């Protein structure tokens, strides 16, 4: 397992009480696997993603990435937040190379890699455009390229399509899925959208209501090899969707 979560719990302290956000979370992610986290609002999905990213420390438990315990932010992990967070005053080129600037990696090798990513995913001619001149889908591709630029082994996706309308969301999820698969990355996606999780994932981890616990893990290997839009037309898609829906109804 490239990512291993072992008995992760998270408790927040307030002046007069404690709030248990997560409790005894354990599961692993294989290299090259796409895993989704779903659960009721407030169950700690985004908190768990922040812990895997090294942005927060667990109250209990250990997370290992590539066999090493996570004790802070790692270059092996790339984080893609809910909004594209492209800076309006920077060109697309300056936005997608921002991570390289911060990590002092803006060398010929990494610059060439970004150039290839922009060309491969149809954004080369827009490199000097401002973010406001691009569609929502193009902006999300730019945000993913910015994340890929530093060549992380693992991508953490925190509801990256939530700001898009339904039709755009379908198209962009298919697009982003194809990019992640082509680049051979391991991915962990947080989403409220059951259909999105079933259409994109190798496995779906279902969390209970707060404090979040692992309620079930669905293996979607029967849908392997199908693109997200193809999966939505498959009979098994509806079976998995209904199973997860019922589990979340019980949790709510």
Nearest alpha-carbon partner for 189 in 202, 208, 175, 178:
202
The string of pLDDT tens digits covering residues 42-82 is 899 999 999 999 999 999 999 999 999 988 888 899 998 87
Residues 198-222, mean pLDDT to the nearest whole number: 95
How many beta carbons lie within 10 A of that of residue 240, not counting itself? 23
Under 8 Å between Cβ of 29 and 186 = yes
In angstroms, rounded to a whole number, what is the distance separating the alpha carbons of residues 116 and 161? Answer: 24
In angstroms, rounded to a whole number, what is the distance separating the alpha carbons of residues 159 and 199? Answer: 14
How many beta carbons lie within 10 A of that of residue 250, not counting itself? 11
Residues 224-235, mean pLDDT to the nearest whole number: 92
Peptide bond into 211 cis (omega under 30): yes
Under 8 Å between Cβ of 61 and 25 = yes
The string of pLDDT tens digits covering residues 17-34 is 888 999 999 999 999 999
Straight-line distance from the first to the last Cα atom of the chain, in angstroms, rounded to the nearest whole number: 31
Positive/negative CA dihedral, 25, 232, 32, 55: negative
Predicted structure pTM score: 0.90
In angstroms, rounded to a whole number, what is the distance separating the alpha carbons of residues 57 and 91? Answer: 34
The string of pLDDT tens digits covering residues 103-143 is 888 888 889 999 988 998 888 999 999 999 998 888 888 98
Under 8 Å between Cβ of 188 and 156 = yes
**pLDDT of res. 169:** 78
Residues 77-93, mean pLDDT to the nearest whole number: 90
Q: Look at 56 and 168; give whichever has higher pLDDT.
A: 56
User: C-alpha 86: how far from its chain's center?
Assistant: 17
**Bridge partner residues of 36 (DSSP):** 189, 204
3-class state of residue 90 by DSSP: coil
Nearest alpha-carbon partner for 251 in 195, 199, 192, 203:
192
In angstroms, rounded to a whole number, what is the distance separating the alpha carbons of residues 170 and 164? Answer: 9
Hey, what are 130's tokens? 């401002």
């Amino acid at each position: 397992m490239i990512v291993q979560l072992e008995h992760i719990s998270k408790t927040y302290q307030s002046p007069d009480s404690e709030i248990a956000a997560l409790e005894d979370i354990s599961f692993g992610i294989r290299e090259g696997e796409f895993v989704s986290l779903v659960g009721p609002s407030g169950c700690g999905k985004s908190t768990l993603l922040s812990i895997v990213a090294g942005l927060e420390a667990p109250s209990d438990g250990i997370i290992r990435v590539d066999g090493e315990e996570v004790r802070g932010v790692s270059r092996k992990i790339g984080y893609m937040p809910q909004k594209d967070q492209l800076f309006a005053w920077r060109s697309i080129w300056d936005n997608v190379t921002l991570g390289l600037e911060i990590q002092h990696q803006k060398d010929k090798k990494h610059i060439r890699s970004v150039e290839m990513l922009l060309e491969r995913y149809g954004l080369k001619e827009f490199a000097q455009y401002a973010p406001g001149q691009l569609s929502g889908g193009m902006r999300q591709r730019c945000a993913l390229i910015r994340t890929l630029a530093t060549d992380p082994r693992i991508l953490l996706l925190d509801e990256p399509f939530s700001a898009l309308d339904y039709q755009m969301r379908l198209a962009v999820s298919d697009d982003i899925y194809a990019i992640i698969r082509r680049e051979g990355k391991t991915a962990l996606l947080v989403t409220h959208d059951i259909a999105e999780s079933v259409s994109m994932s190798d496995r779906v981890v279902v969390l209970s209501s707060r404090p979040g616990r692992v309620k079930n893990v669905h293996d979607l290997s029967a849908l392997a090899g199908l693109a997200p839009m193809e999966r939505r037309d498959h009979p098994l898609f509806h079976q998995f969707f209904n199973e997860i829906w019922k589990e979340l109804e019980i949790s709510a």
